[in-house]
Structure 1
């Protein structure tokens, strides 16, 4: 196949245009939705409580210390919310900044290694990767972690491939330390050290002196210590046992124990290769039939520009595969390294006829699925109708438009430009997702309307109790609210809830999932208000007087009071 016109002659699409397009695409939709579960409401709660209490050193959730993650992402979220004055406007900004920073670093390194044209193609490749864009539009912690790991890799590669550049090596070590303070795995770029040492020994990369390695590790540890040492002092000198439990949890349980003996998200060793990378790294992996032999050829030549980032990708996947606990987002930091390993091969890859046919086939498959599902749903197919009723959603027209747009792009661009058609359709998908999709899904995934109804029923001066709560409900509460410990067994939470409710039954209510009905046999459920369906479950609002026959225990579980600034009106959010 002849090389496409956009790979020949004058380069019309500059890196600046790619960055502008990235800003427009990734920022689209900010302000159009609330934080959605699973993780977004939790981090928004952390940020709001920091702003309310002024306690930025130890994150809290609903008044309870939150030990699962270090605080940097919460700091970034709090800063964004404070600057914008709105949760809706601010909660997605850290992920947006993380994505744009990652894109800029990858393009800059590709430009220095291969020139502007390759840098532009590298940026487009990253910007069309499904998982990268999805996480850029999601307020989870991983996009900011990816920024730090990419900056760490950037500093390492600047020294190894374009150096000596010791300053960049040390900047990379600081970035890795910040990555550890964001999620704990910020050290991932160090997985390239074995390949770096081998390539330096063979004269294919700048040697990393032992002194620089030792100083870099010290810089990394010193960056981590900037938060860890004060946190340990605060929690150790405090008389609060919950802070001591926080210290032990985040230093030990959430690090080594979580990796070696994970207690949730248990998956087989092949999970990432078969169930994540196979879709999340599309369309990059469509090029593997041509990339693998090309990588092998470059490896035999000891091309450090390919081998260093590629070794980082391989060892990253191996590292996370060895842990029994796995989530798809863990491998997100591997995408920038994969794109860098592909960078010099992209022009030749995009000249492959069969790659374009693969792209066209994938687009035809995706378009066919959306179009068929949309038409069958609109026609009332039982299975789809039940699914829509469960989630209070009717996305049929949205899906039909996606299917028709795929067909239109295939007809216009033809299979010989299949990758261009696929990339264009992905832009259409993300534009519709960030506008139409947000409008369709927000009422289903955010309980804002339900919690407003709760306030109207109870009055804004009454108190609300939640047991076994999900953070999205706590985030959207509009009145004084308490809970009884997120990790406390449900039975102990209810024992404390009964005692709390019976103390002032006319001024206190319980908000609870109807699936917990078997746990409430002592209550008069004829007084319960059915709030309907939200986030896949049905909910009750029960007045305190319904629990007169329930025996409570004030010592059964801790009582946490949600900070008052969270009790705001919808307009303030």
Structure 2
């Protein structure tokens, strides 16, 4: 019979301390760097435009509709930008908060299912994992998606397994799923947990106290609630599209509702990877150290299967189904499987008190930090003599990271020496703490000048008149985010030949304007030898072309793109 702990003396102090520790780790480094490509400048630019224009319903980048993602994540950045007035602070806060909420949800549900000791293990495993902390320190959309998916799983687990379970928690989980879909289309993933739940119910034995059963109407009611939560954004968006009677808004609606969901999953057009990509290329490093514990967990998971313990089968089954779900799609990115990681920590936590002190586990958890420390130390030393992989990075980015890498490796080895009589878990924990502190502060400060185009814009400002407009060709959103003058672009989904012709026609009509493009770009419309170099950013040399660089003619393509003019307000200067 499954015995659930009594929570009559539930300690809120544990949750408060865990929240403070988690947020301190995840928020460390905020303010040290600007948004970095590929995704961060796009979301920051959209959020900045929402606050400054007052138009929140339709995400815009440089006055062009952005149909690739729903707006909830951009809204969260915009709210913090409006509150703080600093985009350097606002763009990273949502991910740090989302990571903190995820850890607290896993801690709380594990404590309710197993007890306090196991709950601390669940939170510790999640905070020790590489991918979770890395994404919580990035302004990509995936940390927020992970939070909503985890809250959806939390609601389902509380509704089915916990003491004094109530179907209202299922409805609360469905609200989280709706908000998750409003963040990214895969927010419905917690529904996959219904499969292992159904299997556990089907395998129920008379002597067991298994998941509490509800009337069947509760389940479709939850789906309706999920859709109602989604309609908080979808309904006004659809009404606004119908009222606008604009083909651009109709295209936005069709793109975000079909192409970026069903089509992107079933017939991806980029990030094409083989079926085994996640298991072979992502899990082995991204899910460290959890992945190395699987051999010791196997016996406990087998026992849970034989005992039909749904507290293990439901989160573990969810992890396997998420891996399968994303593996079936031809388009794959490593961050897609992040929502499975919190449930893996939950499934592993109950066995950790029994396996944490085993010699094999301790040896592996000591070996990995030693390899990390020695690797960083050697790479840093080789960088000083212009050899090894770091030398290539130093040349590629025109920086010298040898000192930071060497210092990080030395700090790891020093910390390990001081903990030489401690457990492998303490060795791994202190190693990751050193690495994340170095990444958040030292590496952020080092890479910030070369991962932003601020120096290019400074050179442009000193080279051309203040009132001269710049047309952007083949640039990412980061150039628009850092712009300090009116700029022109021709759409981010425009074919290269159409974009080139549009820039040529624009410069023909604006003799006092300039075109900015990478020096490596082939151009049948401009003589690049007449361009002026304005610096290096994002591994490219950038050229500024005036009317004198125009060739006599430029072949007109079949498609003529729109021209978008963007005037930045409160330029991102630091």
Question: Into which bin does the TM-score normalised by the smaller protein fall?
Answer: over 0.9
Kindly state the Cα deviation for residue 244 of structure 1 after the two structures are TM-superposed: 1.0
Partners of 1:56 and 1:75 within 8 A in 2 = yes
Distance 1:141 1:292, change over 3 A: same
Alignment of 1:391 onto 2:397: yes
Alignment of 1:128 onto 2:132: no
- 1:292-441 to 2 correspondence within 5 Å? 292-381=298-387, 384-414=390-420, 417-441=423-447
State which drifts further: 538-547 or 306-315. Answer: 538-547
Aligned equivalents of 1:526, 1:20: Cα separation in 2: 56
Specify the SS of the correspondent of 1:532.
Answer: strand
Kindly state the Cα deviation for residue 192 of structure 1 after the two structures are TM-superposed: 0.8
Alignment of 1:509 onto 2:514: yes
Alignment of 1:562 onto 2:563: no
Kindly state the Cα deviation for residue 415 of structure 1 after the two structures are TM-superposed: 7.2
Kindly state the Cα deviation for residue 218 of structure 1 after the two structures are TM-superposed: 0.4
Residue matched to 1:205? 211
Aligned equivalents of 1:24, 1:75: Cα separation in 2: 23
State which drifts further: 450-459 or 291-300. Answer: 450-459
Alignment of 1:31 onto 2:31: yes
Kindly state the Cα deviation for residue 479 of structure 1 after the two structures are TM-superposed: 0.6
> Residues 454-478 of structure 1: CA distance to partner in whole angstroms, max 9, x if unpaired?
1222233110001222111111111
- 1:193-232 to 2 correspondence within 5 Å? 193-201=194-202, 202=204, 204-232=210-238
Specify the SS of the correspondent of 1:564.
Answer: coil
Residue matched to 2:541? 538
Kindly state the Cα deviation for residue 349 of structure 1 after the two structures are TM-superposed: 2.0
> Residues 100-155 of structure 1: CA distance to partner in whole angstroms, max 9, x if unpaired?
11111111111212222222222121111111110111000011111111111110
Alignment of 1:527 onto 2:513: no
Kindly state the Cα deviation for residue 407 of structure 1 after the two structures are TM-superposed: 2.2
Identify unmatched segments of 5+ residues in structure 2: 1-10
Alignment of 1:290 onto 2:296: yes
TM-score of the two chains, using structure 1 as the length reference:
0.94
Residue from 263, 270, 273 that aligns with 2:279 = 273
TM-score of the two chains, using structure 2 as the length reference:
0.93
Aligned equivalents of 1:269, 1:214: Cα separation in 2: 32
Kindly state the Cα deviation for residue 15 of structure 1 after the two structures are TM-superposed: 4.7
Residue matched to 1:79? 79
Residue matched to 1:48? 48
Aligned equivalents of 1:183, 1:169: Cα separation in 2: 21
Aligned equivalents of 1:381, 1:344: Cα separation in 2: 46
Aligned equivalents of 1:59, 1:109: Cα separation in 2: 35
Residue matched to 2:451? 445
Alignment of 1:110 onto 2:110: yes
Identify unmatched segments of 5+ residues in structure 1: 1-10
Partners of 2:59 and 2:67 within 8 A in 1 = yes
Aligned equivalents of 2:159, 2:199: Cα separation in 1: 15
Kindly state the Cα deviation for residue 93 of structure 1 after the two structures are TM-superposed: 0.8
State which drifts further: 526-535 or 303-312. Answer: 526-535
Aligned equivalents of 2:256, 2:531: Cα separation in 1: 39
State which drifts further: 191-200 or 78-87. Answer: 191-200
Residue matched to 2:8? none
Aligned equivalents of 2:214, 2:199: Cα separation in 1: 11
Q: CA RMSD in A?
A: 1.9
Specify the SS of the correspondent of 1:35.
Answer: coil
Aligned equivalents of 1:129, 1:386: Cα separation in 2: 28
Aligned equivalents of 1:369, 1:285: Cα separation in 2: 21
Specify the SS of the correspondent of 1:445.
Answer: coil
> Residues 196-221 of structure 1: CA distance to partner in whole angstroms, max 9, x if unpaired?
12323415211243110010000011
- 1:462-541 to 2 correspondence within 5 Å? 462-505=468-511, 507-516=512-521, 518-520=522-524, 522-541=525-544
Residue matched to 1:66? 66
Distance 1:152 1:563, change over 3 A: farther
Aligned equivalents of 2:250, 2:501: Cα separation in 1: 25
Specify the SS of the correspondent of 2:269.
Answer: coil
Aligned equivalents of 2:418, 2:488: Cα separation in 1: 58
Residue matched to 1:3? none
Aligned equivalents of 1:259, 1:435: Cα separation in 2: 37
Alignment of 1:188 onto 2:183: no
Aligned equivalents of 1:55, 1:37: Cα separation in 2: 24
> Residues 73-102 of structure 1: CA distance to partner in whole angstroms, max 9, x if unpaired?
011111011111011011001101101111
